[in-house]
């Protein structure tokens, strides 16, 4: 199975089914993601910071922080610190500005094919901003079109 298919199969397997309450299972999925790709790791990031509405009551802020620590432990990528800091602020209920979200999305754009990181930041920003989506939407669309036009990895 090529890497894109493995990534998609992995993302589908955890979508709305991440084991928030089982740290051993979460750790196993993190290791599996690391064996696939950076984008697969960011799929887990997305699941942690943007849980499905139906499961938000079972995921405390403390557990989100714990899972983020587990995810980022021994994982090095230039986006990690910035994404975790951004997500942590929103998880804690602090405000963000639209231009900050656009800046982070522009940073993500420097790393081809990081769809999950893009989706996580967009989702967090949409929830936090309320109405100010213009520049955010435009940049997200631009990046997705650029990445979609690239040859398969």
**DSSP state letter for 152:** P
pLDDT tens for the chain, 153 residues: list them: 588 899 999 999 999 999 999 999 999 999 999 999 999 999 999 999 999 988 888 889 999 999 999 999 999 999 999 999 999 988 888 888 888 888 999 999 999 999 999 999 988 888 777 666 777 888 888 999 999 898 876
Q: Quote the Cα angle for 44-19-17, to 5°.
A: 75
**DSSP state letter for 121:** H
pLDDT value at position 64? 93
pLDDT value at position 130? 67
Number of domains in the chain: 1
Report pTM. 0.90
Range of the domain at 39: 3-149
């Amino acid at each position: 199975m090529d890497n894109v298919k493995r990534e998609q199969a992995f993302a589908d397997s955890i979508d709305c089914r991440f084991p928030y309450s089982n740290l051993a299972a979460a750790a196993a999925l993190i290791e599996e993601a690391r064996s696939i790709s950076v984008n697969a790791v960011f799929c887990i990031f997305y699941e942690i910071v943007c849980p499905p509405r139906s499961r938000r009551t079972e995921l405390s802020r403390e557990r989100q922080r714990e899972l983020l620590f587990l995810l980022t432990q021994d994982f090095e990528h230039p986006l990690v610190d910035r994404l975790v800091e951004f997500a942590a602020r929103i998880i804690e209920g602090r405000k963000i500005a639209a231009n900050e979200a656009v800046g982070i999305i522009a940073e993500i754009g420097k790393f081809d094919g990081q769809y999950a990181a893009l989706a996580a930041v967009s989702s967090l920003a949409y929830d936090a901003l309320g109405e100010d989506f213009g520049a955010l939407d435009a940049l997200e669309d631009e990046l997705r079109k650029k990445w979609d036009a690239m040859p398969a990895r």
